[in-house]
Amino acid sequence: MSEIKTLYERIGEENILQLVDDFYDGIENDELIRPMYPEDLLPAKNRLKLFLIQALGGRQTYTDERGHPMLRRRHFQWQIGKEEATHWLKHMHAALEKATFAEKDKDAFWDYVYQAAIHMINK
């Protein structure tokens, strides 16, 4: 009987790190949502990397360093509507299109981030 692997194990950490880098390439030039991010994107990029590693079944460094993720609460300081969520998802989708891991794992990842983005809508 084979062991069921986490999405983190199936995708691999290097792929997650690359996906986040590609995602932030899109964020950098997005006129609508770029202002929600600090001038220096590196800390936000690193937080997303740690968050996704943990959320997908990897090590718990995000919680160790920052406490419980509380995603909606951490994002409540920004006005996030459908348009902002759509822009965020557009950049995540573009990064996912560049990714080289299995399509079924891309689909599972997309399901996760799509639900998370919808959950962040607060206006």
Is it the case that residue 1 has pLDDT exceeding 80?
Answer: no
- What would the pLDDT profile of 36-65 be if each residue is shown by its tens digit? 999 999 999 999 999 999 999 999 999 999
Domains along the chain with CATH numbers? 9-120 (1.10.490.10)
Which of residues 71 and 80 earns the better pLDDT score?
A: 80
pTM: 0.93
What is the CA 1 to chain-centroid distance, rounded?
Answer: 32
Is it the case that residue 102 has pLDDT exceeding 70?
Answer: yes
Q: How many residues does the chain have?
A: 123
